[in-house]
Structure 1
Amino acid sequence: MASADPSEELECFICLNLSSDPVTLKCGHNCCLDCIGHVLDTQERSEGYSCPKCKEEFEELPTLRNMVDNFLSARPDQEEFGVTCTPCSHTPVPAIKSCLSHRGASPCNHLGFHSKSPEHVFCDLATSLENRKCSVHKELLKYYCTKDSTCICLSCRLDEEHWEHQVETLDKASEIKKKKLRNVLPKLMAEREEMEERVQSLQEHWRKVQGKADDETERVTVLFRDLGRRLDDLERRVLSDISGQVERVSLSVSDLIQQLEIKEEELVRKMADIEDLCNTTDPLTVLQESDTSDLCDEDRERHDELLYDGGDLNVAGISQTLHIGLSDIMSGVNVHSFAGTHVYPIFCAKNKVISGLTDLLLDVSTAGNTLRIADDRKTLSFSSSHLNLPETPERFWCSQVLSSQSFSSGRHCWEVNVRGSNWWRIGMCYPSIDRRGVQSVIGYNEKSWCLERYGGNSYSVIHGSKEIPIPGSVYGNRIRIDLNYGAGRISFYELCDPIRFLITITTTFTEPLHAGLGVWNGCIRLSLAYQM
């Protein structure tokens, strides 16, 4: 009797389980060989056999060949299980471990059976059995040679190659290695934490650098935008000055040309009159006409005067406007800085137009006892011997002196001839500067600024004991100092050809300023001084 469901054909109608060693009776019913055997043992053999279910008689017990194999191979869901559990062959169940001792896979509910025996060794299903066998003897690897650091089988252990070597079981060798690894693990964790801290530190450093870069980018962008605006304004101002001068000169020249044309017409008439007189034969007529011989000289003088009054383009004034404007713009570019003071290097400059000469003299009462002041109060020279000058609160203990005049407003300029010395300091000081101790030296305090040449062939600017070298060598023998008190600027020039604008110091002045000069060999001299 056939059934629509193949699983029903494999079910034993006696024990109601999947048939073990299945047989098919003549009537078509299926059952286990053991089950039907127990039942048929109770029947009389002489009378043959009968199906316990339908009572049909038969003489043989044919087996159900390949039915289970065909059934299992025909199941559509077998591939879904992958590697199946060997004991569960009646129902495919995914295996989770492989027992090397039994060469089979085992699921969770059969692990207990295998784990009861110590010779059962489990491994992951992904581990190939061939990888756990000795490549020489094809036996399972069960030992570990500590000398050769390799896993070996029993035959390897008995070979001469490993006979005298120290050999451990895989379990013991594994535990030893695990112990070492556990000891290494804290060190690795510490290293990892250190790496994380270093990474965090680098990331923090990078964030700071990026922040600084962003700030500098914004600052430079604003600076150049402001410089562009100021340059545009200066360009418009200078071009307007030029066009204004051109217009004024054009008017003067046009007026002069008009006057000259009028004079030219007068000269033409006079020339015609003279020719007529020259052609006259009557002497009385010639002598009675007025004398015009001096008219040409008179007209030439008036012509020269008109030509002079016509004027010219004031190039010096244009250069002054341009230079002052550029200097004002450059004063906004911070290159070096003291505390509250900014220093700007500029590499060249034109002569400035001055409005009047002034007389800058030295205050003898402030001169140090090793400083000799000439009678003109403009020349100072170093004395190797003490001059025994009267001790006064105003006198410096070192070889330097202040000017008599002070400046609290306006723009001023003076020159110093330094040909006679290669160790000097010139600059500006507040009158409240100390007169004793190292802090009284020009540049070594917050109340003075100076340019120094100390023996070598280069300059430095000093303020608050901080020194900033100026690039370039010494070329000239005269130094010019420009003071713009209102703008808070002190500029130093080297008067060579061309004039070299060394440096500009920008700060906020809080007291009147005196010129300060010091010399430590030879002599230096104040020359021109003027107000701009």
Structure 2
Amino acid sequence: MTTRRSTASHQSTSWWNPPCPQSTCPTHDKVVMYYCREDTSCVCVSCSLEGEHKGHQIELLSKSFRDNEGRPERTSRRLGLKEAGDQEKTLQDLKTDVPKKADVIKENIITIFKDIRRHLDLLEKKLSCELSSQEEKVLLSVTNLIEQLETKEKELSIKIRHAEEMCNMTDPIALLKDGRFSLNEMETLDEEVDLPSVEDFDEGLVAATLYKGLADVVSGVRRRYDVVADSNIVLDVNTAANNLDISQDLKLASYSVTQNDRPDTPERFQSHQVLSSRSISTGQHYWEVETEETGDFRLGVAYADTDRIGIPSLFGCNDKSWSLRSSNSQYRIYCNNVTTLLPHKPTSQRLAEYLDFEAGKSCLFMS
């Protein structure tokens, strides 16, 4: 915030000389009863009639004093003292209001984090219940299979004993008449069983529930601040310079060695820049941009009517845009043709931007 400061004019002009300390004129030895406005001095009657003050604007001291009673206030106003006093009061009020505003924001932050913690606790319980449900389901399946295998094991033991008894039989007629066992049944005892595994845990469902829950928490915070999450920003090919390639889904821009043959229109940039197809005219917005791991890039925010030709059209080289530029592993912010080198180098290729249109503020988040 820029505060305009008025400069008081400290001139040495005197507006009023008080009654002379001596009661008589040193020149004519007469009582001083008059005031000369032109020379701003006390004079006697002889000074005004025949002395050096002859012909000047002369008036009685008493009248001059009455006329000038309000002059100090008017003079202080002329010198800017009143404006300075008003500004001081404004600053004092601001000094009081800033902590109050900070306290309101702190209370809001505390409330938001309480709400976030509450939602996170609910999400944790939901995930815990989901895990317990899956655990119970898998264990129930395992238990059922164990019981089935135990039953089959008992049946197999009986059949094995019967088979051993049959092996000891010497009478073929008696063997054939025994209908409790057949070779066909022996063939079905070795069938494979589809055993469960830890892979039956649906970890993807748990992860999806977690991500969905976290997204809902973040969305709740954004709604509290009326922030619109723009997740589907696409590029406007009509503004893309011919040395930029734009992907078919309109979400990726990359530098091209060869020139594209796009029509020359007033909207098109002449040098490696492109705007999004959606313009923002109100509200608070948040979006994320992912960059390549290697190579240089430019990322910024600009008004739609920014220049399209020459150096002034480059984002950050005018008062209608700013940009983050990565070059040779160094990051710089450009704004109104002023460059700031950033000491921080992001560890992620995902950058987030926040825009408050009404406040005229735009922030970049790097991790």
TM-score class normalised by the smaller sequence: 0.3 to 0.5
The structure in which a higher percent of residues are strand is 1
Higher relative contact order (CA 8 A, sep 6+): 1
Compute the TM-score of the two structures, normalised by the length of structure 1: 0.34
Higher alpha-carbon Rg: 1
